A and B are shown apart, each in its own frame.
Chain A
Amino acid sequence: QSALTQPASVSGSPGQSITFSCTGTSSDVGAVNHVSWYQQHPGKAPKLMIYDVSNRPSGVSDRFSASKSGNTASLTISGLQAEDEADYYCNSFTSSSTYVFGTGTKVTVL
């Protein structure tokens, strides 16, 4: 099972919106609505930001939104803030009943 493909880095200025992708196949992202997103600050454990493609857990800012089309999921961060600077990973359940993470995207706030 190959890792899902994410852009290595994305940057934006404070207040801007950024969107980045997570591309898989018809055996993972395209097969299920169980795509989740995680934020990871340096030296910290990952934190759940989105589950089931577009749902936010309680306590996660509504500046974070996500969607999916075909084999590609996307995460959007609106009103970019300095605290959003982190690594972001997508994850998908697969048709083999396993899980696969994305390669990770480093978000930089300029």
Chain B
Amino acid sequence: QVQLVQSGAEVKKPGASVKVSCKASGYIFTKYYIHWVRQAPGQGLEWMGMINAGGGTNYAPKFRGRVTMTVDTSTSTVYMDLSSLRSDDTAIYYCARELPSGCYFDYWGQGTLATVSS
């Protein structure tokens, strides 16, 4: 069955970086894109960007310059690195799968809580 399994919770200080992983299984990894979506406590969903298996990326304007998404096809794993962390980056970060040109997210990871606190 399709699974997206994310890395565990993180606690970081302001100004630091956080790197979250998303390991895919149960499908042909290279045939799908992976997106990242975050959700601050008690708030709504926010799209951050996406990456394809070839490493091509498309980031939301808000995060350009601060987010880097990378892919390791040998392990079917995608990474999301967010730098210059602020307290308002405290959120649950989700990865989600998209069939190219489908424009919807059919499977989601379990989420990773990243807390930014001094």
Structural contact, B106 and A57, CB atoms closer than 8 A: yes
Place the interface of chain A in its size category. Answer: 20 to 34
Structural contact, B111 and A101, CB atoms closer than 8 A: no
Closest to B106 in A: A48
B72 within 8 A of partner (CB): no
Quick one: which of A34, A97, A99 has the most chain B CB within 10 A? A99
CB neighbours of A98 from chain B (8 A): 47, 58, 60-61
Which residues A27-52 have CB closer than 8 A to chain B? 32, 34, 36, 38, 40, 45-48, 51-52
Structural contact, B45 and A36, CB atoms closer than 8 A: no
B46 within 8 A of partner (CB): yes
Q: Mark A83-94, 1 if CB is under 8 A from B, else 0.
A: 000000101010
CB neighbours of B108 from chain A (8 A): 45-47
B45 to chain A, nearest CB (A): 4
Structural contact, B44 and A104, CB atoms closer than 8 A: yes
- Give Cα distance in the complex from A102 to B43, angstroms: 11
CB neighbours of A76 from chain B (8 A): none
CB neighbours of A1 from chain B (8 A): 60-61
Structural contact, A36 and B61, CB atoms closer than 8 A: no
Q: Mark A61-96, 1 if CB is under 8 A from B, else 0.
A: 000000000000000000000000000010101000
B79 within 8 A of partner (CB): no
CB neighbours of A17 from chain B (8 A): none
Of B47, B102, B109, B110, the residue contacting A101 (CB under 8 A) is: B47
Residues in B lying within 8 Å of A, measured CB to CB: 35, 37, 44-47, 58, 60-61, 94, 96, 102-106, 108-111
Q: Which 10 A-B pairs have the closest CB atoms?
A: A34-B103, A51-B104, A36-B104, A45-B108, A99-B47, A104-B44, A101-B45, A93-B103, A48-B106, A89-B45
28 A-B interface contacts by CB (under 8 A): A3-B44, A32-B103, A34-B104, A38-B45, A40-B45, A45-B109, A45-B111, A46-B45, A47-B108, A51-B102, A52-B103, A52-B104, A57-B106, A89-B44, A89-B45, A91-B45, A91-B47, A91-B104, A93-B103, A98-B47, A98-B58, A98-B60, A98-B61, A99-B60, A99-B103, A101-B37, A101-B44, A101-B47
